[in-house]
Structure 1
């Protein structure tokens, strides 16, 4: 018998001063049995940091046709392909051909994530950005995740202030370009 997804609820308060985006919203997150808590938290942060009209979680884990987070315009056209973790070069190539913007948020060492992409064909690789957090930031926040969560994301000058269930932490959002 297959194990089903675990449901988590996140009440999010977002204040992204860098982009002028402020909103309160709730997320119901189905954590796939093969998904780690670190990946799930990175996926939630990616959605918050990219928050805009038309943003939703994709079928990234169970589908090769969509990323972890996707933005669609009113016509259904994909405008942003947002990967999480360590996608392969083929997925980035595919996403970059479909979307105007392709980004990756990773909770891993960005140098190790990007190393396998070297020399691979990736459409518009010069426009793809990889975002990472300070070492240990995600690992320190993971034990705070419960089934029902309150999360505050405040971004100013590329610094993320995270409050997860009453515990605060801070990280710089590091931006990396593909070479």
Structure 2
């Protein structure tokens, strides 16, 4: 954990009907001083939307050789490389070579994020999905963040329903592909 990192806790009731995943999560999330609330919240939502056995947060912004979230199998091999925000093409290329599956969750305009990778070499770029939310969704949720958070995260037909500390929000989960 980085010096000056702020710890946020999340008690989450997860119901992902699309994938048949139902669980109670207790997350301790270290927010690096240079990390925005929007990035941290997107990181938590990516964790929920990708939740499976072996998932975990990496060392965070200070960890240059790991994504924000990753999934390892029982042998320690990385099976899913889950980036958040607007990673550069080099990180995606590396992650795509290392893991079976690479995805990006962004709180930014996905078309601008994908445009930054144009004419860059990215291993298996056709297989990388970029997921985003409705415009304003993350910005509307950020004011509800506290140091200790209680949330319900439900997904049905790629529609995300979030109740964060009494604030209810809904968004589609949009998928964009690298051209």
Q: TM-score range by the shorter chain?
A: over 0.9
Structure 2 CA distance, aligned partners of 1:43 and 1:68? 7
Residues 32 and 60 of structure 2 are in contact (CA less than 8 Å); yes or no, is this contact kept in structure 1? Answer: no
What is the deviation of 1:25?
1.3
Greater mean alpha carbon deviation, residues 57-66 or residues 9-18: 57-66
TM-score by length of 2: 0.98
Structure 2 CA distance, aligned partners of 1:3 and 1:61? 12
What is the deviation of 1:156?
0.3
Structure 2 CA distance, aligned partners of 1:47 and 1:151? 13
What is the deviation of 1:43?
0.1
Provide the residue aligned with 1:90 in structure 2: 90
Q: What do you get for the CA RMSD once the two structures are aligned?
A: 0.9
Structure 1 CA distance, aligned partners of 2:172 and 2:22? 19
Provide the residue aligned with 2:102 in structure 1: 102
Matched, 1:80 2:75: no
1:90 aligned counterpart, secondary structure: helix
What is the deviation of 1:3?
5.6
Structure 1 CA distance, aligned partners of 2:119 and 2:135? 27
1:173 aligned counterpart, secondary structure: strand
1:87 aligned counterpart, secondary structure: coil
Unaligned runs of 5+ in 2: none
Residues 9-48 of structure 1 correspond to what in structure 2 (within 5 A)?
9-48=9-48
> For each residue in 1:11-46, what CA deviation from the matched residue of structure 2 results, as whole angstroms up to 9, or x when unmatched?
011000000000001000110000000000000000
Structure 2 CA distance, aligned partners of 1:134 and 1:55? 25
Greater mean alpha carbon deviation, residues 2-11 or residues 45-54: 2-11
Structure 2 CA distance, aligned partners of 1:16 and 1:27? 17
Provide the residue aligned with 2:126 in structure 1: 126
Provide the residue aligned with 1:151 in structure 2: 151
Structure 2 CA distance, aligned partners of 1:3 and 1:75? 31
1:117 aligned counterpart, secondary structure: coil
Unaligned runs of 5+ in 1: none
Structure 2 CA distance, aligned partners of 1:98 and 1:12? 30
Q: How many residues align?
A: 178
What is the deviation of 1:163?
0.3
> For each residue in 1:111-158, what CA deviation from the matched residue of structure 2 results, as whole angstroms up to 9, or x when unmatched?
111111011000000000000000000000001000000011000000
